[in-house]
Structure 1
Amino acid sequence: MSENSSNNNNSDPTIKGDPLSDSNNAAQSRKKITSQNKPFTLFVILICGFSISYLSLKFISLKNDIKNKGGFILDTPPNKIEGATIKITDLECHWEKYNLNDELNPIIPALTFKSSKFIKSGYLQILFMNSSGKIQGDPNIIRYDTKFIDTGNDEVTIKSTKGIANMLEFMDYRTLKEDYYSEKWTITIKESADGSQWSTLTSFKIPGSPITNT
């Protein structure tokens, strides 16, 4: 009787296994899963690290560009410019040959104010900068009261004395992408009431438009 009872107890499927053994098995399973997830976790961390580094470099580049050039740079020339002493209501930016009779002369940028409203007398300073942010030629300063002094009306054209070396380089310039980090030339326009203290009105990229024969 005792022997039969012992056999029945050993074969009873309701009897649970060793709790300590089950706990060890569960811990080993969790450890195995954790070990398998480590490579993926490291991969995600690396991707996040690279993304943060890339965005940080872009931010620093943008910040330095703004600091060096005096303000945010527009991708295209604005439709109008408003200052304390003048309002430019129509402007045009283009490229032209420095000398029409000499193919070796540079291709220069030019800016035309086609219509202006004068609030009071003052000065505008126009700076042409190459793709490295360096001023090309001498700063152009124009004076006005009820009209531009140089022209006697509300229109004036300002040209850079330096430009892109030749037609081949200009064609390369025209193919550059129009995003913020493309190496475009820029124009910065500053305003002053007395010709001594200047404030930036706008900065913008010079588009790679076809050459104007003027």
Structure 2
Amino acid sequence: MLGNMTKCVFANLEALLSLRDYQNPNSTVYWNPETMCDCKLPCEETTISTTFTLARAPANVYTVMNSKYEPTTYNCYTRSNFGNSNSCISWYQQNSVVVSVYFETFDYLSLTETATYTMSTMLNDFGGQLGLWTGFSVITITELVCLVVMMCLYGIVGSRIVRKVNPESADGDWRIVDVKDLREELDNHEYLDREQARMQQLRLRNNAMNSQY
């Protein structure tokens, strides 16, 4: 309690009733600890919990602590400056205390606070939502870029590229075999067309000569 403050007792009802003004937001003395105080949690805090037990002391057979004046064998039943042992025990009960301080346990509890929603988690969620709503991903965009680059390269240097056929695999390639057959068929048709044209010319020439005679 601060030095300029007085203890509030139930007898002073006016002081107790005045506390209601601090709960009224329209009051000039209103104070809200949640908004007006910047009380942040400490980064590190050590808390030691204590427990205590009480017992009646001294016991019926009580030995005074060792000192340079009295040995440890002194107690209220052997050597005493009191009239009787009960007076000795009663005096020690009223004018002395036995304090035993010890650690209950050597275990400790460490609480570590970590961020639940980190920057990496936020970026992962953002990437997932972006891929869900737009239908694009990094792989899709990369494939589109590669496709555009390949089309541009083919348009620029594609006509200059000549594919060489391996002679060893040319006979077994059905595509090459089909091309050969098609070429032979076209050559045959071309030969037949030339022969027909030549025969037609010979026929017309013979007919012209026969008509003269």
| TM-score > 0.5 by shorter chain | no
Give the helix-richer structure, 1 or 2: 2
Tell me the TM-score normalized by structure 1: 0.20
Q: Answer 1 or 2: higher relative contact order, Cα 8 Å, separation at least 6.
A: 1
Tell me the TM-score normalized by structure 2: 0.20
Q: Which has the larger radius of gyration?
A: 2
Give the strand-richer structure, 1 or 2: 1
